[in-house]
Amino acid sequence: ASFILHETCKMSIPRNAISKTKSYCKKKRQHKQMIRHGFSCHYNAVIIFALVIFATGFLANREISVVFALVVPYYLATSSKHSKSRDFLSLCSTPLLVDSTTTENTSYHSPLSMGIDELSLILNGRGRALAAWDCYRQGIDPCLFYSSSLLQEEGAFTAKFPKSRVNQGLGKDSLQRLKNAFPHNPQQGIIEHCVASLSHSSTSNDGTTKLLIKMAKDGLEVETVIIPWEKRKRSTLCISSQVGCRQGCTFCATGRMGKLRSLSSDEIIVQMYYATQLCRSPNSNLFPIDNVVFMGMGEPADNVDNVVRACRILTDRQLFQLSRSKVTISTVAPTPKAFSDLAAAQCTLAWSVHVVHDETRQFLIPTFNPKIYTMQQMKVELCRVLNSSHLASKRLRTIMLEVALLDGVNDAVHNAIDLAEFAQSMIDQVQGLKLVVNLIPWNDIGTGSRSYNTPNPSAVKDFQNALTERGIYTFIRTTRGDDDSAACGQLATTRLPTASKAKIEE
């Protein structure tokens, strides 16, 4: 009973409660009345739960207690004499602007993964929330920027702010509320101490930069990679969704780590925060980030809630402002349900197929069990999702089939022919589908329980030709960062010799 009352008081105000209140509020008082409306919701919820708990405690018959516990809240929520209690019904049934996370113990989130409406309630003003996100979007901590005269002197920061908010400040009270909104270390109130810190940075010969990010919660570390593209003057960010991975892919360094825990939405977004911070550094040769791929450490399908929330923050036009088609979620799809779960992010999906034969795929991915779900069953579900209303835009009706090519395992021409038939059947089932096959020559991850070899370049080219001859668009992924263990499949949190502390801070 105490837990229910406590959690009820902590419930956030849903989107429709905010919009409903706005329609009755005067412009100058709307935020204050929104907050009062929220407290009204909480007060009604507490009263209803208190009545239920009080009544059920005195009823001896268990069946009557259950009926009473179900009927009374409904009566109070729908009765005309208790019209305000309908706010409680709305509070319980309406999702937040960004769905709250529920995976493991990572359900907390800080201002770094809050939408404008959520943050405006905390800061008591929409303009203040927008000003805070002007900073986050550039990899700047607003708690430092608006409280430090040294940082405010840097005109390069404010040059990218909207003209209407160049002189916008948060004020002492707003800064304190922003600091208190962090669930960890609110006394410090800065991202480095409350969410995560950048503990290491290294750059390979081709410019690919790997970041080692240490979580403030428990000190665990994840890796994220910035891949610059000289031709288009932009960078791709490869981010992680978990510390380790439970799928155990035998050719992947992360799979050999095992799963330690899932990342919260904050800990996913903070990778974008630090990468953006590094890219805008005047001493950096990195280009701005316009593309994000969930192809780092972890399986997104095992951390759906946090991944979906992070994708909504990345693609919100008032937050990180990325195009939905520029955010790709890669999954091995532990179950067919993974496709529909991840499609809720409204971003591009990539399926790590590797091979279409059930037995060979189980050899490569031990958690794949063809006795439960075959590749054909997985394909049917994926096509159903691509045809469904999960994807609001037909532009997102794109699927990437990823294949890590291993010498003597899945790089033969007959494997390519089977994959072409598999892909063509998907194209036939989904109208307007844009299907791309991404071939990834295996990158050496060191010795392990099973030894693999990188395929011969001629074998990779033959594999590609077999697909293109059958009308399947195919490209070979360029290996980037392999000399620094930053290439695909090589990510694992083993601390390399660090660069100087001064360089990292710079």
Task: Kindly list the catalytic residues.
Answer: 223, 488
What is the distance between the alpha carbons of residues 32 and 467, in angstroms, rounded to a whole number?
A: 61
Helix (H, G, I), strand (E, B) or coil at 468: helix
One-letter amino acid at 43 equals Y
What is the distance between the alpha carbons of residues 52 and 194, in angstroms, rounded to a whole number?
A: 38
Alpha helices, H only, 111-213: 116-123, 126-136, 142-145, 149-152, 155-158, 171-180, 191-194
b or e along 23-49 (b: 16 or more beta carbons within 10 Å of the residue's beta carbon)? eebeeeebbeebeebbebbbebbbebb
CA distance readout (Å), 204 to 209, 275, 497: 6, 16, 13
Strand partners, 476: 439
Helix (H, G, I), strand (E, B) or coil at 5: helix
What is the distance between the alpha carbons of residues 506 and 501, in angstroms, rounded to a whole number?
A: 9
b or e along 214-232 (b: 16 or more beta carbons within 10 Å of the residue's beta carbon)? bbbbeebbbbbbbbbeeee
38 close to 13: Cβ distance less than 8 angstroms: yes
What would the two tokens of residue 189 be? 């109130």
What is the distance between the alpha carbons of residues 202 and 205, in angstroms, rounded to a whole number?
A: 10
154 close to 140: Cβ distance less than 8 angstroms: no
What is the distance between the alpha carbons of residues 468 and 475, in angstroms, rounded to a whole number?
A: 9
